[in-house]
Amino acid sequence: MPTTPRPADFKLTGLTGTLRCCQLFSGLSAEDLMVIAGFVVVQKLAKDEYLFHEGEPARGCYLVQSGAINVHRVSAIGKEQVIHVFRSGESFAEAALASPTGYPANARAVEPSTVLIIPKAPILELIGRRPDLALRMLGSMSSHLRVLVGMLDDLTLKDVETRLLNWLVKHSPTSTGGTIRLPGTKRVLAAELGTSSETLSRTLGRLRDQKLIAVSGKEIAVRNLPALQGMLRRNLGEH
C-alpha cells in the first residue's frame, strides 16, 4: 500500500540497503530486513571516540556502516593489543549477544565512523524465529574465531620481520607490488603488528637496504613483490 514516503521510511529503506550488503544479513527476506531496520540504532563516532569499553554490559552487536573500528584489549600497564580493525560491512561483538557478561574488549573509532547498533533483545527474539539467521551468526562468530586463531600464531610462531612481510604482501595493491599508503602513523602500524615503532623502523630499514621496498613518509612502495613473497615463504618454511 504505497503512500507518500515519510522521512522515517526513507531512513528504513536506506538501512535495509546497508543491512542487505553485509555478510551477516545478506539473503534475508525483505520483511526480516525491515524488522531489523526497525530496531537498529544508528550511532556516529568521531575519530578516537570509544564505542564501548571492556567490562561494560553489552547492549548488542554492531555493524560498521562507514569508517573503521579498532577492537583491542589493554593490559594493566596500558599496553594496547589490537584484536582486529573492522571496516565497512563487517559485524562484530556477536559474542556479546549470547553471554550475560560484559564486553571482553574495547572498541574505538580509528576515523570518523557510523555504526549500527543491533540491540540484544529484539535480535535474539528474531533469531528464535529465524533459525537460518542463527546459523549465520554461528558462521560469523566462527570466522572471528579463525581470525583470533590466526593472530595467535602470528604472535607466537613468527618474528616481526615475517609479520611485516605478511602485512606488506597482503596490502600490495597490484600483483607486481605498487605503493601502499599507510592509514595511520607508523606507530599505529607497529601496534597492529604487535611491536614497537623502533623495531618496525629497523625492520623497514632492512627491507629498504635490500631494495625490496622504498619508504617515504606514509608511502611504502613495494619494488619487488615476488621477492617479498619468496622471503615470506622462506621465513615460514624453515627456521
Partner DNA sequence: GGGATTGCTTGACGCAGGTCAAGGCGCGCC
Partner DNA sequence: GGCGCGCCTTGACCTGCGTCAAGCAATCCC
Choose the binding region for a second copy from 4-12, 41-49, 106-114, 122-130 (rule: CB under 8 A): 122-130
Choose the binding region for a second copy from 32-40, 75-83, 111-119, 205-213 (rule: CB under 8 A): 75-83
Choose the binding region for a second copy from 13-21, 127-135, 172-180, 213-221 (rule: CB under 8 A): 127-135
Q: Which residue, 1 or 157, has its beta carbon nearer to DNA? A: 157
C-alpha span between 123 and 173 (Å, rounded) = 38
Q: How far is the CB of 45 from a second copy (least distance, A)?
A: 22
Q: Residue 234: name its binding partner from a second copy, DNA, none (Cβ under 5 to 8 Å by kind).
A: none
C-alpha span between 72 and 38 (Å, rounded) = 30
Q: How far is the CB of 216 from a second copy (least distance, A)?
A: 31
C-alpha span between 64 and 43 (Å, rounded) = 10
Residue 102 near residue 55 (C-beta atoms within 8 A): yes
194 binds DNA (CB under 7 A): yes
Q: Residue 145: name its binding partner from a second copy, DNA, none (Cβ under 5 to 8 Å by kind).
A: a second copy
C-alpha span between 63 and 86 (Å, rounded) = 9
Q: Which of residues 198-227 bind DNA (CB under 7 A)?
A: 198-202, 204-205, 215, 218
Q: How far is the CB of 132 from DNA (least distance, A)?
A: 43
Q: What φ, ψ does residue 127 adopt, rounded to 5°? A: -60, -40
152 binds a second copy (CB under 8 A): yes
Task: Out of 13, 143, 176, 196, name the contact with DNA by CB under 7 A.
Answer: 196
Three-class DSSP category at 133: helix
Q: What φ, ψ does residue 68 adopt, rounded to 5°? A: -155, 135
Cell 528464535 -> residue: 128
C-alpha span between 39 and 158 (Å, rounded) = 44
C-alpha span between 197 and 167 (Å, rounded) = 15
Nearest Cα to 16, choosing from 65, 79, 80? 65
CA distances 177 to 66, 217, 223, 224, Å, are 27, 18, 6, 6
User: Which residues are at the interface with a second copy (CB under 8 A)?
Assistant: 73, 75-77, 79, 81, 83, 94-99, 101, 104-105, 124, 127-129, 131-132, 134-135, 137-139, 141-146, 148-153, 155-158, 194, 236-239
User: Which residues are at the interface with DNA (CB under 7 A)?
Assistant: 79, 159-161, 185-187, 194-202, 204-205, 215, 218
